[in-house]
Chain A
Amino acid sequence: MIQETLHKFALQELDPVASEMDQKGEYPRKIFAQLAQMEITALALPEQSDGQAIDSMGLVLALQELSGYWLTVAFVLLNHNSAIYALSQSPHCNELVDELLAGRKIATLAFLEPNGGYDELKVTSQAVPQGEQYVLSGQKLLVASGTQADLFIWLACLPDGQPACFLVPRDKLKITPQKRLLGMQAAGCAELELAAVHLDKQALLGPAANPATLWPQIRDLYHLGLSAMAVGVAQHAFELACQYSKERQQFGRPIGKFPMVQERIINMARAIAGTRLMVYQDACQPQQASPLVPQLPLTLLNTTEMAMRVTIDAVQVHGGNGYTKDYPLERYMRDAQVLRMAGGSPESLYHCAAQEIWRS
């Protein structure tokens, strides 16, 4: 149901404009408003008040459909929805949640740090308690919607070393747009800086009893969403490659009749089918508040590497045409490379997985 609706939406609203808006770096604000109107913004919201039943599958399916046509829109949406989830798990934030659900305000996550965000487990951004306030300092980059968002969920370390989420309004931040990014050029990515900014204690998000439990939940949700996006973009790249291989004639027949081309396309399908199941499996597992679901870093590594390979192969099937902006494949390939970095570097994902396996 949600798949059909969003597939139609993507076809009608994203497909015709994505390429041009990407080249201009034009943030999809109107499209975002439409999605909010369709209540797609509510997809990460817990159905139960105890926060244990996220509609992960709905979010996964929605992100997949949108990503097939324009990864940037899915990227913006995932950040927004993850932020909504963060606020929904925090006291005093009901009004903000309503604003965000309606799309009147845009929110996003800020967690990757310079030095490649090499290890999100070693967040360098600090939050120091001072009387009734926290003092926050640090830098973030590759923050989706950074140039547009009203609210930022900022990851910073508490004095005990635990990473925690803080709600930072736009006016507290120094925001530098990241122009000329390899991909996701319309996502409004920005570098952010907080220089000893004082925030009320209420800015610390998460359950009052144990705020540090929030970040692992957000990260899992985010990793799941990115994985779904990887599957979505790969799926559409595969479909376009299939279609092209049926239409493009060389040597007197469609190129899809040649076994070498068939092999390439079938290998794309194999890779997508396997990783898609990983994503669905992760989405169906009952959400645990914490600790980390160990499967997720593996799923994210597999899906994003797969999407990189599949989009490169889809360009290959399109030959010279694939190398031009007359076709969307080159955009998928650039976006897929950004996607590989969006959930933290592979370095940090390996680190996450290794910690689980060799926990002493």
Chain B
Amino acid sequence: MQTPNIISTLSDESHEAFRREIQEFVRQELAPQATELDQTDTFPTAILQKMAARGWLGIPFPQTYGGAGLDTLSYIIAVEEVSRVCGSTGITLAAHISLGSYPIYQSGTEEQKQRYLVPLARGEHIGSFGLTEPQAGSDAAGTQTTAVRDGDHYIINGTKCFITNVSYADTVVFTASEDKSKGVHGISAFIVEKGTPGFSPGKKENKLGLRASNTAEIYFDDCRIPRANLLGQSCQGFKIFMQTLDGGRISIGALALGEAQGALDEALRYVNQDKTLKKSQRVQRQIADMVTSVCAARHMIYHAARLKDQGQRVTLEGAMAKLYASEVCMQVTSQAVQLLGAVGLTSQYAAERFFRDAKLNEIGEGTSEIQRLVIARQVLGR
């Protein structure tokens, strides 16, 4: 498989060396089975184990916590290169790191980090993040799930949905309301372990794309979790998930970028082997537009990752990068299907898979509508 060189002034040689390492791995291990994983709805367990062995399930976390000790940009490049071949594995990785592990790294106690973050970063555990509920989608603060203190425990009741990785997760970070009268200021974040009585993953979603990734409901039915599993302070859950989403958006941007690049790779390969297409100016026009927009998306995402690595807030840059990359991804994947003509509609080529995967990026971790609100608020003020 030819992989056109990616050049960015925002990445260093160490990043590009890491990219080549990831590329080599996905070329050998993931590319040969990506279509099969999608067509058979198979969660990429074996791939994740191999990635864990290389330390890639904890890329941005310090080595003292079992991570690889690399920066955000390295992590973003990993999500990009994995998604370039398989969006399902890309979102599994992104959800594990940005959503399932990061809040514990950011807000956990030392004890919680040792107990939960270390196995997650080492890849011995799979992580997940339970925020969305049937009635709390874009309105993430509308959490209906309740947490009631009972001595040294909390009793949790409620339902979460569209939770990535959850059927395979060992630990799930989730939100619940301790006091609904306080609205967002009544929400707390908790960690629940797989197998806790009263906690059960439910129906798996039958999705348009990302079919090898796992998305399911979770039910809490008088689930008792120890008070020690409260993440951060009581009623600080809103802040925790907003911070989590600030970073998570960059990784969804990277997912979109990878899928767009993957579809573009496919289009370039196809057009290159067909002299008539290659000479068509209309085809050239389309390819030029695709390359240009993917390049622009990449720089927005790398820029946001760099800012985060400098310790700056990335609410605005992360939202802009995610919004732009996800819309570019939808256009580019759709165009790639068209460029391949009638065969582009078959699973013989990856373009149709990327096209199906792409739509999620405009929905997950904040719809495009929500990203635009976030962006406008950042520049207009409230």
Please list the residues of chain A having a beta carbon within 8 angstroms of any beta carbon in chain B. Answer: 112, 114-118, 141-142, 178, 180-183, 249-252, 255, 258, 260-261, 264, 308, 312, 315-316, 319-320, 322-326, 330, 333-334, 337-338, 340-341, 345-347, 350
Contacts and interface: CB of A to CB of B under 8 A. Distances in A.
23 contacts: A116-B340, A116-B343, A178-B346, A182-B347, A182-B355, A250-B138, A260-B372, A260-B373, A308-B334, A312-B334, A316-B359, A319-B363, A320-B137, A320-B161, A320-B162, A320-B363, A322-B363, A323-B363, A324-B208, A330-B208, A337-B352, A341-B342, A347-B283
A20 B342 CA distance: 24
Interface of B: 39, 132, 135-139, 142, 161-162, 205-209, 274, 276-277, 280, 282-283, 330, 334, 337-338, 340-347, 352, 355-356, 359-360, 362-364, 367-369, 372-373
Nearest to A308: B334
A182 to B, nearest CB: 4
A326 B338 CA distance: 27
A141 B162 contact: no
Nearest to A327: B208
Contacts of A181: 345-347
B359 A341 contact: no
B208 A117 contact: no
B142 A250 contact: yes
Contact of A333 (B132, B208, B343): B208
Contacts of B208: 315, 323-325, 330, 333-334
A250 B346 contact: no
A180 B359 contact: no
Contacts of A345: 338, 341-342
Which 3 pairs across A and B sit closest by C-beta, in order of nearness? A116-B341, A330-B208, A250-B139
Given A250-B142, A315-B359, A319-B138, A142 B39 contact: no
Contact of A323 (B135, B207, B274, B373): B207
A338 B355 CA distance: 12
B139 A251 contact: yes
A178 B352 CA distance: 14
Contacts of A264: 369
B347 A180 contact: yes
Chain A interface mostly: helix
Nearest to A178: B346
A340 B338 contact: yes
Contacts of B362: 316
Contact of B276 (A118, A320, A324): A118
Contacts of A316: 359, 362-363, 367-368
Given A325-B208, A340-B338, A312 B346 contact: no
Contacts of B161: 320
Given A118-B276, A326-B206, A347-B282, A333 B345 contact: no
A320 B372 CA distance: 18
Given A316-B368, A323-B363, A325-B208, A115 B341 contact: yes
A112 B136 CA distance: 46
Contacts of B347: 180-182
A350 B345 contact: no
Given A260-B372, A346-B338, A142 B367 contact: no
Given A320-B132, A320-B161, A341 B207 contact: no
B252 to A, nearest CB: 13
Nearest to A329: B208
A341 B139 contact: no
Contacts of B368: 316
Nearest to A342: B342
A346 B338 CA distance: 8
A196 B142 CA distance: 67
Highest count of chain A CB atoms <10 Å: which of B136, B207, B338: B338
Contacts of B337: 182, 337
Given A250-B142, A320-B137, A337 B367 contact: no
A334 B139 contact: no
Nearest to B353: A182
Given A260-B369, A315-B359, A338 B345 contact: yes
A117 B344 CA distance: 11
Contact of A142 (B276, B342, B355, B369): B342
Given A116-B343, A323-B207, A324-B205, A334 B367 contact: no
Contacts of A330: 207-208, 359
A260 B138 CA distance: 13
Contacts of B136: 250
A112 B355 CA distance: 22
Contacts of B206: 324-326
A141 B277 contact: no
Contacts of A141: 342-343
B343 A114 contact: yes
B308 to A, nearest CB: 26
A252 B276 CA distance: 56
A140 B276 CA distance: 19
Contacts of A325: 206-208
Given A312-B330, A324-B206, A350-B282, A182 B346 contact: yes
B99 to A, nearest CB: 15
A264 B362 CA distance: 14
Nearest to B138: A250
Highest count of chain B CB atoms <10 Å: which of A258, A323, A326, A333: A323
A117 B207 contact: no
Nearest to A337: B337
